[in-house]
Amino acid sequence: MGITLYCFIFGQCPFMDERILSLHSKIKSQMLEFPDQPDVSDELKDLITQMLDKNPESRITVPEIKVHPWVTKNGVEPLPTEDENCTLVEVTEEEVENSVKHIPSLATVILVKSMIRKRSFGNPFEGSRREERSLSAPGNLLTRKQGSEDNLKLSSDLPDVDEDELLS
């Protein structure tokens, strides 16, 4: 949770390295540092520091996080108790069976995976991708010249036909 909170606040991970073994070493031994921006309160820095404590024995626990001054605004806005906030929900077998109505196609799963990998959650069919798709009709092939993504060329196995010839 500490890494996630750090990333939400600062937009980057506290420990970075391209090599996994070096990253593991940094996580275990490197002191936690906070960027200059954004400027955050001492209470938030304290919470993140306690959450990322290298020693699991002294690391802050979830019940302690729930009463931390940053979470509760110094006790002014305490979180509700488990009794106030949690209720037992019973689910019937019919509800479980009806919970999944449609399993997406493999193409949809691949599209979503690609969007997640690219960290792009906009419409995948807008912009440059739409142009590529519109030119990908049978007989047309959109290719990129090697070395440049900006140079696109259209190649066709079919002969060129004028509009007049097409309409006659």
Is residue 73 located within the same domain as residue 112? no
Is residue 68 located within the same domain as residue 129? no
Residue 47 lies in a domain: yes
Question: Which pLDDT value is given to residue 27?
Answer: 93
Is residue 56 located within the same domain as residue 18? yes
| Mean pLDDT per 10-residue interval, the chain, length 168 residues | 95 93 93 94 97 96 96 94 86 85 76 78 60 46 46 47 51
Residue 101 lies in a domain: no
Q: Is the pTM of this model over 0.75?
A: no
Domain holding 12, by residue range, is 2-80
Q: Write out the two tokens for 76.
A: 């002014």
Domain count, the chain: 2
Q: Write out the two tokens for 131.
A: 């142009």
Question: Which pLDDT value is given to residue 19?
Answer: 93
Question: Which pLDDT value is given to residue 162?
Answer: 55
Is residue 53 located within the same domain as residue 121? no
Residue 162 lies in a domain: no
Q: φ, ψ for residue 155 (rounded to 5)?
A: -120, 150
Describe the chain by its helix, strand, coil percentages, rounded to 5: 45, 5, 50
Is residue 63 located within the same domain as residue 126? no
| Strand, coil or helix: 141 | strand
CA–CA distance from 66 to each of 49, 72, 114, 150 (Å)?
15, 7, 36, 52
